[in-house]
Structure 1
Amino acid sequence: MPNINNTCAANDEYEVIGETQWQIIESSGDEQTINIHGFKYSKLRATLLHTVCILLCGLPYFALAYYPSYNRFKYVKCSLKTAKEICVIDSDGGWTTEKVLEVDLNLSNHRDNRLRYFMFKHNRFIWLNDQGVFINVLALNEKLTIQLLMENMSGINKRQQNELIKLYGTNSVEVEVKSYWTLFVEEVFNPFYLFQVFSIILWSLDEYYQYATCVFLLSVATCMLALYQTKQMSINLHKMAGSTSAFTVTVLRPTRMGREECVVNASRLVPGDVLVLPPDGCVMPCDAMLLTGTCIVDESMLTGESVPVMKGPPCSSSEIYSTEGHKRHTLFAGTHVMQTRFYGNNQVLAKVVRTGFYTAKGELLKSILFPKPFGFQFYKDAVKFVIFMFCIAAIGMGYSIWLYVVRGSLIGTIVLRTLDIITIVVPPALPAAMTAGIVYSQNRLRKNRIFCVSPPRIVICGKLQVMCFDKTGTLTEDGLDFHSVIPLRSGEKFGECVVEVSSLAVTSPLIQALASCHSLTSIQGQLKGDPLDLKMFEFTQWVLEEPGPENTRYDNLTPVIVKPATSANGSMQNLDDFDPFTMEIPYEIGLLRRFHFSSAQQSMGVITNVLGQPQMVYFVKGAPEKVAGMCNPETLPENFSSVLNEYTSNGFRVIGLAHKKLDRKMKWVDAQRVKRSNLECDMAFLGFLVMQNSLKPETTQVIRELHEASMRLIMVTGDNIMTAMSVARGCLMVQPHQKLVLITTGQPQTNDSRPPLCMEVVGEGAPPKLALDAYVLALEGKTWAVIRTHYPELMPVVLARGMVFGRFGPDQKTQLITALQGEDVVVGMCGDGANDCGALKAAHVGISLSEADASVAAPFTSQEQNIKCVKLLALEGRCALSTSFAIFKYMALYSLIQFFSILILYNFYSILGNNQFLYIDLVLTTLLALSLGRASPGPVLTRQSPPVSLVALSSILPLIIQVSLVLVMQVASIYLLYAQPWFKPVEGGPDVEQVLCWENTVLFIVTAFQYLIMACVYAKGWPFRQPFCTNYYMMITLVTQSVFVTVLLLCPWQWLADFMEVEAMASADSEQTMFRIYLLLIPALHIILAIAVEASLSDCEKFSRLVRMMRRRCDKAAEGDAARPLCVPSHLQLC
């Protein structure tokens, strides 16, 4: 039972400020920081707020619906102890108000009968009265030791369960599926739809019924589509979450006579319950730690790893239990337990440690429901640009007010024309147009079997600067090929390498180690497990059997037996052949207990017993350095290091093997209880297992292409550093002209001194100075830990030049990704999803190589098991980013083109007609914007990367010039019109707004050409997209609309001119005909100048370099330091 009054979070910090009126809660578990404030409801404040809302025709209610933080005006601050409402401010600045709930709680160690708590993002925060703080309920169990968890195997009684449900909540991760009406109300309060409603009302008042109707129908269709997609997403998420109330589980309950089994609904499970796992497996309803037995678990839903994992109970110790640190002993919610294995008549038991949204499955759902926002310069600049457009609209509104007031127009006309400016400058279709490129990119990725659960991250792929790769299964083949075994011969040196099992005696300790030290299991007659274990076991030519309960040859039931495939005379030897009165004892080895591999231990072990032998033997295999530390130094050969370096430097994966004969008095029960640390000492070294890990065929070519694109590449692996460096050389991640500098660490000379660091150029020794452009760094996980702790001043150098990181644990991989992100670069990570989950989630672009449609480990999942997906994502990302830039610029120009034309027409007592608005907004610009989004990615990655900032000089200067050209061409067309002798201007008046006039016709035709010109300018292909001539939709739209507008200018039919509200062709007026031809020269000149501006500024590499050079001048000092040669610091030793 948790002690509520005396519990503080091990990984959480709670800071109380301002006499408990507010509090900061920091949690390292989910990396969120929240700031909470205590409030009480105020009737006076609420009455004033509602009064103001009513007086303002209910408009503030819309703001309150979209910005819930403003609801806090209904409350007054108070202490957290007496608060009825909690205002929560998350780490991203979002505000929300949560009610404080109270419930009766009768726990033996809880002094108060009332439990106060509030919920935030499916996290429960409870009030600790003694400490005066709220804590996450998860913190109650974060100091539990493994020994404490394993003490009580009888579970909890029903009364305790009922009380703990009040404390922890039910074991439910159900996702609410909202009704269409609820979704509709939430969608309507979106500012985008509110702006649409405002625009439709405004156009209806101005008698733009056709346009308003079309926009209304489109808005309804868009809203319905959005509601359907949201509903389907909720349904899919609900199905993914499942329902724990739909099935029952068996738990243990304590009784006076011992314990009994009891069937309960899975939704009523609480921490402390002891589950009885069925032999045929099940789907885990919660996170639970194994107490007895072993399980074969399919965790592909969580990690994307298709290989089943064998899990067993931990050793009883005072070590603090954590689900991440002890995942080899933890069954996670949502994973499929395929089989359970037990000893004798014992049951397979597991203790519940987490329930509900605190389970691994719950954390996954929370990450989907409340995704971590990521800052991207493009989106930030887009918001700034929209605000800037509102400022322009304000200027235009001021001008139109002045213009119509001077004319003496009616108030209604002034209001309508002024408000109309807003709908022109800030187009309602902007958000939809911006997502077009991303949608098309996502569809193309899906065709390449790359799935994305976070579409906005596709754009981030376009600015990928640093790409990190796991080694095994990512750069190299997932499976390992057996190369050889290097046994330890009699004497002090290794013997010759062995490639045939026949060269080893079947009873030799080395062959026993190879046959028994693994985590293989038989599922439906097929061996399953780690690929390395499979290859190793295949080499021995032994067989693995999992006997039934009738076979009891080893004190108790042995879960796994291994034996030679054939006996001495060549016949198969089965377990059931054994008869002690008629034949010899068969040579078989029982695997009594397995200590599964863990990244922290870098090894695995197994306690074995040869049938008929009284003495047990412990075998271990793992990282050679780790195994050597377990062995008696006298058993290690003299050439241990030289042989190890010889093979690892050539890219082989080397595994160390050792064994130890255990005390003859040790029995099966003792073997189940002995601590691993007591076994892994004073062992005898046996030899090396050498595996060949070949590069995938696609690896080298993709690495070369990424290098050519100036992308920085990093390898971060749990494998040996020498092997990692060899693979990095082999796949050309380390360029031929670059030299690898290996940084290692040693033992401190005194207790107070820092561990020394040693640098050497691999294969050459260490020069006194290292030029940064020619050297890259390699280091191991332990060196990384030393540098982070004792040499923080070296971290910038390591992050800037580090390329190969070996022997990195899962947490260290995440640390590296986070540290790189701190250098203000976009970081990607590609791995198989097994030990890389933390790094994949932390990276801006996480790519999991998995056969699943989507892996929870990363926003991107590639079913193609190679790194070609990185190139494809980079290409699609650059295409999507440049397309989003193009569409945004086009929509901005579209707004300003119409803005200028409307203001000019206002000045000449004219305005665009309904059909003209309809054609421009719904036909011309919509088709062009959608066609722009269909651009395909370029074929190759170039060194040049797409711009990321809309407000950068290289982006804003060409845009300003283009806007200026638009205005100049429109004014020029009016001057050309006024220069015609036959032209008669519109006769003005206070409320004159003539549509059919030459001013209208000229500006409508010229602006229509300008929309086409801008689309043509921003549809350029190279270097991030295919040439726009390959975009058939774009070509068809440009050609057809250009022909239509040209016909409308030169020779419009009467019916067409009437429909489009333009001046018809005068049959006998040659001057008007020549004017129409001259007017065509303005768009022709415009397109030449516009393309020249774009080519000379936006596409000019020299101009871009000039802008970058100007930007870097302010950072000249820092740049100068980074360019200096890297001299070996005084505290670094030369190797």
Structure 2
Amino acid sequence: MAWKSYSLEDYRKHVLFCGTDVIQVKPSGQGPVRAVVLQTGYNTAKGDLVRSILYPRPLNFKLYNDAFKFIVFLACLGVVGFFYALGVYMYHGTSSRYTTTMALLLFTVTVPPVLPAALTTGIVYAQRRLKKKKIFCISPQRINMCGQINLVCFDKTGTLTEDGLDLWGTVPTVDNCFQEVHSFASGKALPWSPLCAAMASCHSLILLNGTIQGDPLDLKMFEGTAWIMEDCNADYGKFGMSDSNIVIKPGPKASWSPVEAIAILRQFPFSSSLQRMSVVTQVSGEDHFHVYMKGAPEMLAKFCKPETVPKDFPQKLKNYTVQGFRVIALACKDLKMEKLSELQNLAREKAESELTFLGLLIMENRLKKETKPVLKELSEARIRTVMITGDNLQTAITVAKNSEMIPRGSQVILVEANEPEDFVPASVTWQLVENQENGLGKNETYLNIGNSSVPDGARGSCYHFAMSGKSYQVIFQHFNSLLPKILVNGTIFARMSPGQKSSLVEEFQKLNYYVAMCGDGANDCGALKMAHAGISLSEQEASVASHFTSKIANIECVPQLIKEGRAALVSSFGVFKYLTMYGIIQFIGTSLLYWQLQLFGNYQYLMQDVAITLMVCLTMSSTHAYPKLAPYRPAGQLLSPPLLLSVFLNTCFTCIVQICAFLYVKQQPWYCEVYRYSKCFLDNQSNFSTNVSLERNGTGNASLIPGSILSFESTTLWPIATINCITVAFIFSKGKPFRKPIYTNYIFSFLLMSALGLTVFILFSDFQDIYRGMELIPTLTSWRVSVLVVVLIQFCVAFFVEDVILQNQKLWLWIKKEFGFSSKSQYKNWQKKLAEDSTWPPTHRTDYSGDGKNGFYINLGYEDHEQIPRAKLELGGQSTEQHFWTRL
């Protein structure tokens, strides 16, 4: 069949992507190795990355929808102004061409052309600051979305804990019983046993230029045996192999071994969905073969003969996982085959069946030093944290407790779900995890199934759900109505496959969480892509799928990204509000002047547009993020009450001040509509008269001439409007709690002070060249002082309203509570409902899908990559097999 009829996932181990370093090629003995080019250009994985950068997936972020609505509103206001201008100029009998020009001018004043770009200014500066912190972004629009993050999902290994694993010890089994622990800390060599042979051979390491290379976990395990690796050569012809195979043998520091060498003949590679790997080997001097297998203990035990698995296996496994150890199980079996050539056709299912359990390999995985402070910082900011890992559930719970992701004193409830079997419906069991004294004398986490009960007051305290990927899958399919209830308090999700991780992130998003995912491995790629903000701590596979990549491999990048996102969001809102008010301020002033067929001069517009507004737009967003995360998020939409009230009230203040000034200047004794002979002029005003476009007649009346610029109205309104533009820029540049104070933005502060100083200088200067150039008329000093006092009063009132009332978080919370406003977020509504439910959370009980409370639910679209041995499947009867294939 054609290649395109198959999924890439089916051949992932056989596909090389652009940028892959091929470190070794071995022929198969059937001719030279050949490769087929599958995709080129933008159809490759790298091309897809470039395409995703050039054409990112549209964001369903309400901010951008609100911005469009806001622009439509301003355009409607501009249309009103357009018809207003038409009416005024047509009433005075001006030409249709001039009337249309003036009407269009008023329309364009209302909607500043840079308004759509206002939402990107904060992003540009935030991206620069992130780059300096070694955080790189391929989807800049996601930065604003980071300001709304309220839930962060973390992978465990390599993210919360160290990348490297240290060998702690081995627990071998003999005659179905665990033996004494061998501690690597003792310095003694690992004694020979089948477990030692499994550790030495069950890996995917290779020898390149005399150096062993491969997976760090495999490398650490192999080094613990003190064996050495060699390429197969003529000395090992007795194996009947080509020189493409690897041979291992005891090293100088290894313990005594009856085995001269072991050849690795075939590998069944590790897969995160299968949670295991195996190899076929042959001992020097023997005719038969051996199969060695390693993997997750729970998974590997399913492939072993039940009589070889110790009866206390679950308890022994729990003893180590609750202490935070990484546990790997090993098994083996003899393979009855006569010919080496038969290995090439050996099915994995046949090799990985009826094995003998060998024991456990215990490895330490310590927390990174940055993990605990970062999780504490996020917790104080009321940002929820969740662990999604492929590791053991008990290990994950212990790591969550040690890192204080689960605070001290909180209850942990284990949710365990089982698929339907025969006539027994799917079930979900709720078990309380308690702290008990263990043999080491420390408080560790154990599961008390028989006697668990909720302590007094526990229902009102904080509780956290923990579950495995298998349980999540069953609940997703059969208890879908329970899923939201679990997710709002679910903290630990272990043994999760890559598909389940993506599904979980999507389910969180359906509850209206803004989700960030932080991981470092290929298993996290789907979840990183699905999240609102995917943060990769690796430059390998995960960085291709993630929106952000940190070159510093710890989770300190998460709060940094949220801080910058909040700063960028607030900056974008500030610039957007400023440009809106700038357009409204000019619209009001121009409309008033249009009433008398007047308008501002070109240089007056130029100073407002370039010297003030353009500089404000370029520098207003450069204020750095505040170093501490606030316990609440900034508004995520433009049509929020505080923002709308801010624009509305400032518009009212502007209308009141400009209309009063416009009317009051007409009441002054020195006011006149023709200014050639005004007593307010300086001694030498001959140059001013040449620009006057209103001519006074003998009776003291004036004939209106369209296009007038020199007037007392424009001279009064221009400084009011200009200083108003400066003050609203200052008011909307709010610092704490999401940005540093405005004075730390040196360039912006300098430009504001300079613009204010220049405007005040022009207002009070008596230089005729300046007045002639700015097309202004000198007035009495007392009137200029009055103008300045008015704008200062307007600034004080606007600043008080904005800072004390509109930005008062406690006041808005009180208003919501008093007037009964409920949140639209589903997770908040669920939290409220569950807080009022006296039967929640359930403990020490089992629910069934057919009991009528939760209903029976099967989602045929759910994908699960986890495979179960057919032998185990067949034990469940026909109904179980049918359900299994339906699920796949």
Deviation, 1:541, is: 1.4
SS at match of 1:1062: coil
Are 2:273 and 2:498, in contact at CA under 8 Å, matched by a contact in 1? no
C-alpha change, 1:850 and 1:491, in structure 2 (3 Å) is: closer
Task: Describe how 1:629-708 pairs up with structure 2 within 5 A.
Answer: 629-663=302-336, 665-708=337-380
Partner Cα distance (2:231, 2:559) in 1: 45
Partner Cα distance (1:554, 1:772) in 2: 67
Deviation, 1:343, is: 4.0
Deviation, 1:534, is: 1.6
Are 2:521 and 2:542, in contact at CA under 8 Å, matched by a contact in 1? no
1:1004 aligns with 2:718: yes
C-alpha change, 1:1119 and 1:735, in structure 2 (3 Å) is: closer
Q: Which residue identity is paired with 1:509?
A: P
1:1124 is aligned, of 827, 836, 851, to 836
Partner Cα distance (1:932, 1:1073) in 2: 33
Task: Tell me what 1:1034 maps to.
Answer: 748
SS at match of 1:339: coil
**What CA deviation, in whole Å up to 9, does each residue of 1:426-456 have, x standing for no partner?**
1112234432211111111111111111111
1:611 aligns with 2:284: yes
**What CA deviation, in whole Å up to 9, does each residue of 1:252-280 have, x standing for no partner?**
xxxxxxxxxxxxxxxxxxxxxxxxxxxxx
1:623 aligns with 2:296: yes
Partner Cα distance (1:821, 1:759) in 2: 27
C-alpha change, 1:549 and 1:951, in structure 2 (3 Å) is: farther
Partner Cα distance (2:67, 2:138) in 1: 23
Are 2:475 and 2:483, in contact at CA under 8 Å, matched by a contact in 1? yes
SS at match of 1:982: coil
C-alpha change, 1:1085 and 1:351, in structure 2 (3 Å) is: same
Partner Cα distance (1:585, 1:717) in 2: 40
Partner Cα distance (1:333, 1:1122) in 2: 50
Task: Tell me what 2:598 maps to.
Answer: 910
C-alpha change, 1:756 and 1:1022, in structure 2 (3 Å) is: closer
Task: Describe how 1:347-386 pairs up with structure 2 within 5 A.
Answer: 347-349=32-34, 359-386=44-71
1:869 is aligned, of 534, 557, 562, to 557
Task: Tell me what 2:630 maps to.
Answer: 942
Are 2:176 and 2:309, in contact at CA under 8 Å, matched by a contact in 1? no
**What CA deviation, in whole Å up to 9, does each residue of 1:129-170 have, x standing for no partner?**
xxxxxxxxx8x614xxxxxxxxxxxxxxxxxxxxxxxxxxxx
Q: Which residue identity is paired with 2:324?
A: G
1:563 is aligned, of 240, 243, 249, to 249
Partner Cα distance (1:925, 1:1101) in 2: 29
C-alpha change, 1:757 and 1:331, in structure 2 (3 Å) is: farther
C-alpha change, 1:833 and 1:586, in structure 2 (3 Å) is: closer
C-alpha change, 1:1042 and 1:369, in structure 2 (3 Å) is: closer
2:583 is aligned, of 892, 895, 906, to 895
Partner Cα distance (1:693, 1:532) in 2: 11
1:517 is aligned, of 185, 202, 209, to 202
Partner Cα distance (1:1023, 1:1099) in 2: 10
**What CA deviation, in whole Å up to 9, does each residue of 1:775-815 have, x standing for no partner?**
11111010011001111111111221111100001111111
C-alpha change, 1:1021 and 1:854, in structure 2 (3 Å) is: farther
Deviation, 1:600, is: 1.9
Task: Tell me what 2:464 maps to.
Answer: 776
Q: Which residue identity is paired with 2:560?
A: L
Task: Tell me what 1:421 maps to.
Answer: 106
Task: Describe how 1:584-595 pairs up with structure 2 within 5 A.
Answer: 587-595=260-268
1:1089 aligns with 2:797: yes
C-alpha change, 1:941 and 1:673, in structure 2 (3 Å) is: same
**What CA deviation, in whole Å up to 9, does each residue of 1:315-337 have, x standing for no partner?**
xxxxxxx3225423443455343
SS at match of 1:835: helix
1:848 aligns with 2:563: no
Partner Cα distance (1:865, 1:569) in 2: 37
Q: Which residue identity is paired with 1:1011?
A: C
Task: Describe how 1:47-62 pairs up with structure 2 within 5 A.
Answer: none
Deviation, 1:406, is: 1.5
Task: Tell me what 1:579 maps to.
Answer: none
Partner Cα distance (1:503, 1:601) in 2: 34
Q: Which residue identity is paired with 1:645?
A: K
SS at match of 2:467: strand
Are 1:1053 and 1:1064, in contact at CA under 8 Å, matched by a contact in 2? no
Task: Describe how 1:243-258 pairs up with structure 2 within 5 A.
Answer: none
1:1024 aligns with 2:697: no
Task: Tell me what 1:601 maps to.
Answer: 274
Task: Tell me what 1:878 maps to.
Answer: 566
Task: Tell me what 1:19 maps to.
Answer: none
Partner Cα distance (2:43, 2:743) in 1: 53
Higher relative contact order (CA 8 A, sep 6+): 2
Larger CA deviation: 1076-1085 vs 760-769: 760-769
Are 1:413 and 1:991, in contact at CA under 8 Å, matched by a contact in 2? no
Q: Which residue identity is paired with 2:84?
A: Y
C-alpha change, 1:880 and 1:369, in structure 2 (3 Å) is: closer
Q: Which residue identity is paired with 1:437?
A: G
Are 1:506 and 1:564, in contact at CA under 8 Å, matched by a contact in 2? no
**What CA deviation, in whole Å up to 9, does each residue of 1:227-265 have, x standing for no partner?**
xxxxxxxxxxxxxxxxxxxxxxxxxxxxxxxxxxxxxxx
Deviation, 1:850, is: 2.3
1:727 aligns with 2:394: no
Larger CA deviation: 1116-1125 vs 868-877: 1116-1125
Q: Which residue identity is paired with 1:1112?
A: F
Partner Cα distance (1:1114, 1:470) in 2: 30
Task: Describe how 1:25-44 pairs up with structure 2 within 5 A.
Answer: none
Are 2:419 and 2:427, in contact at CA under 8 Å, matched by a contact in 1? yes
Aligned length: 799
**What CA deviation, in whole Å up to 9, does each residue of 1:613-667 have, x standing for no partner?**
222111111111111111122222232111111110111100001111222x433
C-alpha change, 1:872 and 1:402, in structure 2 (3 Å) is: same
Task: Describe how 1:973-1122 pairs up with structure 2 within 5 A.
Answer: 973-985=661-673, 989=703, 991-1064=705-778, 1072-1106=780-814, 1108-1109=816-817, 1110=819, 1112-1113=821-822, 1120-1122=832-834
C-alpha change, 1:512 and 1:920, in structure 2 (3 Å) is: same
Q: Which residue identity is paired with 2:792?
A: A
Are 1:847 and 1:858, in contact at CA under 8 Å, matched by a contact in 2? yes
SS at match of 1:694: coil
Partner Cα distance (1:1075, 1:671) in 2: 101
SS at match of 1:691: strand
Deviation, 1:489, is: 4.1
Q: Which residue identity is paired with 2:251?
A: A
SS at match of 1:1022: coil
Q: Which residue identity is paired with 1:829?
A: M
Task: Tell me what 1:969 maps to.
Answer: 657
C-alpha change, 1:1085 and 1:1004, in structure 2 (3 Å) is: same
C-alpha change, 1:830 and 1:431, in structure 2 (3 Å) is: same
SS at match of 1:1112: coil
Partner Cα distance (1:447, 1:707) in 2: 26
Task: Describe how 1:544-583 pairs up with structure 2 within 5 A.
Answer: 544-547=229-232, 552-557=237-242, 558-566=244-252
Q: Which residue identity is paired with 1:738?
A: S
Unpaired stretches in structure 1, ≥5 consecutive residues: 3-137, 143-321, 571-583, 1066-1071
C-alpha change, 1:506 and 1:589, in structure 2 (3 Å) is: farther
Partner Cα distance (1:860, 1:786) in 2: 32
Deviation, 1:362, is: 5.0
C-alpha change, 1:549 and 1:1124, in structure 2 (3 Å) is: farther
SS at match of 1:753: coil
Partner Cα distance (2:354, 2:578) in 1: 73
What TM-score, normalized by structure 1, do the two folds share? 0.67
Deviation, 1:716, is: 0.3
Q: Which residue identity is paired with 1:834?
A: A
**What CA deviation, in whole Å up to 9, does each residue of 1:1097-1119 have, x standing for no partner?**
32101232145445734879866
- The root-mean-square deviation of aligned C-alpha atoms, in Å, is 2.7
Q: Which residue identity is paired with 1:637?
A: P
